[in-house]
Amino acid sequence: MRTLFGENILSPSPTPRPQHNPFELLFHSTASAASSNASTHSSPNQHGWLTQHLQAQQQAERDAADQTTRQPAQHVKRKGHPKLLFMGLRKSGKSSVRKVVFEKLSPADTLFLEPTPRMERATLQSFVPIETAEIPPNAPVTAPEFDHRAAFGNAGAVIWVVDVQDEYLNAIGDLIQTAVFLAENYPRVNFEVFIHKTDGLSEEYNYEAFREVRQRVQDELSDLGHGDRSVSYHQTSIFDYSIFEAMSKVVQRLLPQLPAMEALLNKLCSTCRIQKAYLFDTSSKIYVATDTSPTFLRDYEVCSDYVDVIVDIKQIYGWQKHERQSQDTTSQDDSVGESLVTYDRSGDTYIYAREIDE
Amino acid sequence: MNTTERSKRQKQRKVLLMGRSGAGKSSMRSIIFSNYVAKDVRRLGATVDVEHSNIRFMGNLMLNLWDCGGQDSFVESYLTNQRSHVFTSVAVLIFVFDISSREAAADLLNFASTIRALHEFSPNSRVFILIHKMDLIPADQKSRVFQQRAVEVRSTCEDEGFLEQQVDFWATSIWDQSLYRAWTQVIYFLVPNATVIERMLQKLAELLDARELVLYERTTCLVVTHITRGSEGQNPYSDRFERLSSILKTHKHSMAKHTGTLASEVSFAEMQVKTGEFMFFITRLTENTNLAVVMPSDEATFNAARVNVQLARQEFAHLDIVEKRSKDAARFAGMRDSLGSDDIASKGSEDEEIAFARPKDR
């Protein structure tokens, strides 16, 4: 199948990329995932899903993401794979978040999850192999006998989950303790706070809680001299898209390729007059990059739903490929998937999606 | 009377929706016909007496849906003073059993008296039994529980005089696509010219060399009919049509949320999905229906198919006409004669033109 774009759509990247060509993304399919991960300089024929959105937007503020690339001095040099560590009080929702985002568990089924007894690790095979780990809440993290180096040495970001429906003020004490500990010993690790379980509560209450947590943590840190540490706060809930948005932002902060991908997306949007573009990871539906125009949750939702539609249809009618793949694992597939929806009679495309890698 | 008048009259179909109170009748109706999402049905209260809805389906089918409240007092009144009013000239009775109800015996008695009344006034009607709320049954027991209940109900039907072929059983739940499957069957039974539509679609499928054609109604996303050709028959997803219904319905809701319009007004002009294995597009076919076409993965045939479907639209418009006066109908017939010899552009490298054949009984 011929592709819409020629081979030289990929302009040479503005910054030297360490490992990956950003247009070489992995589409997580059940058969082969890790094989395409290794190759570095790929032709444009290997791709992931790029979702573009063509509707008028309003001006709004965009979060300034912390984009410093890390050159860690004290801890083990990461090989470009983001590692996330989840911490928080018991029943705050750490396992639910991990399972809903990375293992596609339905949010309603998280009621049946058991408390996590020990530290768990998991890896998501995808464009960016994301490793997640979860520390059980009663582990004495700050005590000297705990093996910090094993836990935090490799971490890219620590996510503290605060349950806003429970007594969150108690959680703040532990939060601050951990934040201070990390600020002192592992300053290179990003610290993120999820104000979690914001579904079902009024917007004012959530905002109040959000502000209070932020205020207190900021005060404590500056009292102890770490006022320059940046901590980001997100309001999340597994029952809507806010958790995916927050995870996307967390993962983006850990990607060294982010500026390059953003520059490419910007170029694409300006050349093709696209309003908004998202680079989605299909299995977890977090977006790995977007262009620098203002971001709205609504656009992300509609693109994420559209990715779902495409994946479902592909599964229903692509059945021959699955059967073939189970017999012959060396098949080479040069075709590119793409999809579009046109919403009015004039034929202007409303949403366009293109597969970047299989 | 001539055929147009008689066929106009036949297009009104009366459908009764009955069952105990709380069985799920109004929920099903609102999900399918009023664009509710499964979560929204919690808002619905008990139906008072009968709720009539006239639903236009496919343009020429008027569904007269009677959603009858299930509380005992209402049921009493249907079976006594409103008996003939409710049960005459019924085309389809949809009876809903709540599988999680503790009063199975009372449910069955209720059903028996309803069926008896139905048999008195409309002995030739079709009965669809929906065993509802199947999501509350653990997966391993589902088929056993369903079979058990079906056997009991079937014996009751036979006692009251309904033949086996008049009764159909379906297990449904609003939380998955089984709901669409059951209602698709109901609609398929009611659509008056289903065989004509299928014949025309079969010809279209041959011309396009499509793997599959699915005709579905635009507002409810219910599949009216489908044509499957060739190797597609081995598709392991035998429930793909109802899956498609539910995928499209969710898509409509997400679009509505995004553009800020109502879910009932949202509809796309065209959707395309192209992969290495297949190519798929959905486009309008008639005023009330969309056609989903699955093609093999070849750009040339795909684009030819899109053009051909555009050209085929005018032929299919006849199936969907709103009631016209006889003068208009005659004029239309004249137009159709002149269009009948239209040729459709052939695909790819073939040189000869392929004429689009007309169905014979027009």
Domain spans, chain A: 83-252, 258-317+336-354
The ipTM of this complex is 0.72
Size of interface A-B (CB pairs under 8 A): 95
- Establish how many alpha carbons lie within 13 A of residue B308's alpha carbon, considering only the half-sphere containing its beta carbon: 28
Q: Domain B194-355 belongs to what topology?
A: Beta-Lactamase (3.30.450)
Query: Looking at the complex, does the CB of residue A357 fall below 8 Å from at least one CB of chain B?
Result: no
Instruction: Take residue A130 and report the two structure tokens written for it.
Output: 């994301």
Taking only residues 51 to 90 of chain A, the set having a beta carbon closer than 8 angstroms to any beta carbon of chain B reads 55
Q: How many of the other CB atoms lie within 10 Å of CB of A112?
A: 7
Find the length of chain A: 358
B29: left (phi over 0), alpha (psi -120 to 50) or beta: alpha
Instruction: Take residue A276 and report the two structure tokens written for it.
Output: 């908004």
The bridge status of strand A276-280 relative to strand A287-290 is antiparallel
Does B251 sit within 8 Å of A305, measured CB to CB?
A: yes
Instruction: Take residue B250 and report the two structure tokens written for it.
Output: 């969710």
Strands (E), B133-176: 167-171
CATH of A83-252, one of 3.40.30.10, 3.30.70.260, 3.40.50.300, 3.20.20.70: 3.40.50.300
HEC sequence for B73-95? HHHHHHHCCCHHHHHCCCCEEEE
* Rounded-to-10 torsion of CA A185, A186, A187, A190: -140
Residues of chain B positioned with their CB less than 8 A from the CB of A339: 271-274
Q: How many of the other CB atoms lie within 10 Å of CB of A211?
A: 12
What is the helix, strand, coil percentage profile of chain A, to 5? 35, 20, 50
Residues from B in contact with A at Cβ < 8 Å: 211-212, 231, 235-237, 240, 243-244, 247, 250-251, 254-255, 257-259, 268-278, 280, 294, 297-299
Within A59-192, residue ranges assigned H as helices are 94-102, 148-152, 168-185
Q: What 3-state DSSP class applies to A219?
A: helix
B186-225 burial: b if 16+ Cβ within 10 Å, else e: bbeebbebbebbbbbbebbbebbbbbbbbbbbbbbbbbbb
Within A116-202, residue ranges assigned H as helices are 148-152, 168-185
Residue pLDDT, tens place only, A107-163: 777 777 777 777 777 777 766 777 888 877 766 666 655 666 666 767 778 888 888
Q: What is the DSSP letter of B328?
A: H
In this predicted structure, what is the pLDDT of residue A322? 66
In this predicted structure, what is the pLDDT of residue B135? 83
What is the H or E stretch that residue B296 is in? Answer: strand B289-296
What is the residue-level pLDDT of chain B in tens, covering all 362 positions?
444 444 444 467 888 888 888 888 888 888 888 777 777 777 777 777 778 887 777 666 777 888 877 777 777 787 788 888 888 888 888 888 888 888 888 888 888 888 888 888 888 888 888 888 888 888 888 888 888 888 888 888 888 777 777 888 888 888 888 888 888 888 888 877 778 888 888 888 888 888 888 988 888 888 888 888 887 777 788 888 888 888 888 888 888 887 777 766 677 778 888 888 888 888 888 877 888 898 888 888 888 888 888 888 887 777 655 434 334 444 444 444 444 433 333 333 333 333 333 333 33
d(CA B11, CA B17): 19
Residue from the list A319, A335, A341 with its beta carbon closest to the beta carbon of B235: A319
Does B271 sit within 8 Å of A316, measured CB to CB?
A: no
In angstroms, how far is the first alpha carbon of chain B from the final one? 17
CATH code: domain B3-190 is 3.40.50.300
Amino acid occupying residue A62: R
Among the listed residues A220, A211, A293, A271, the one whose alpha carbon sits nearest the alpha carbon of residue A8: A271
Among the listed residues B252, B358, B253, the one whose alpha carbon sits nearest the alpha carbon of residue B312: B358
Amino acid occupying residue B299: E
- Establish how many alpha carbons lie within 13 A of residue A162's alpha carbon, considering only the half-sphere containing its beta carbon: 26
Sheet holding B12-19: strands in order across?
B50-57, B61-68, B12-19, B92-98, B126-132, B167-171
Residue pLDDT, tens place only, A290-309: 888 887 888 888 888 888 88
Radius of gyration of chain B (CA): 22
Sorted by sequence, the CB contacts under 8 Å of residue B277 that are 6+ apart come out as A314, A317, A318, A320, A321, B297
Query: Looking at the complex, does the CB of residue A331 fall below 8 Å from at least one CB of chain B?
Result: no
pTM beyond cutoff 0.80: no
In this predicted structure, what is the pLDDT of residue A33? 31
Residues of chain B positioned with their CB less than 8 A from the CB of A335: 275-276, 297
Instruction: Take residue B338 and report the two structure tokens written for it.
Output: 């002149």
* Rounded-to-10 torsion of CA B96, B102, B103, B104: 60
Instruction: Take residue B5 and report the two structure tokens written for it.
Output: 């008048």
Tokens 């059951």 label which residue? B182
Domain with CATH 3.40.50.300 in chain B: 3-190
Instruction: Take residue B318 and report the two structure tokens written for it.
Output: 């006849």
pLDDT exceeds 70 at position A262: yes
The bridge status of strand B167-171 relative to strand B212-217 is unpaired
* Residue A95 burial (C-beta neighbours within 10 Å; 0-12, 13-18, 19+): buried
Does B244 sit within 8 Å of A318, measured CB to CB?
A: no
Q: What 3-state DSSP class applies to B33?
A: helix
Tokens 């809701």 label which residue? B253
Q: Are A340 and A306 in contact (CB under 8 A)?
A: no
d(CA B263, CA B253): 6
Within chain B, residue ranges assigned H as helices are 3-10, 25-33, 72-79, 83-87, 104-121, 142-160, 178-190, 194-208, 240-259, 299-316, 326-339
Tokens 């109170």 label which residue? B21
Q: State CA A106 to chain mean position distance.
A: 18
Q: What 3-state DSSP class applies to B214?
A: strand
Within B161-261, residue ranges assigned H as helices are 178-190, 194-208, 240-259
Residue pLDDT, tens place only, A318-328: 777 666 666 55
d(CA A159, CA A195): 10
CATH code: domain A258-317+336-354 is 3.30.450.190
Does B280 sit within 8 Å of A317, measured CB to CB?
A: yes
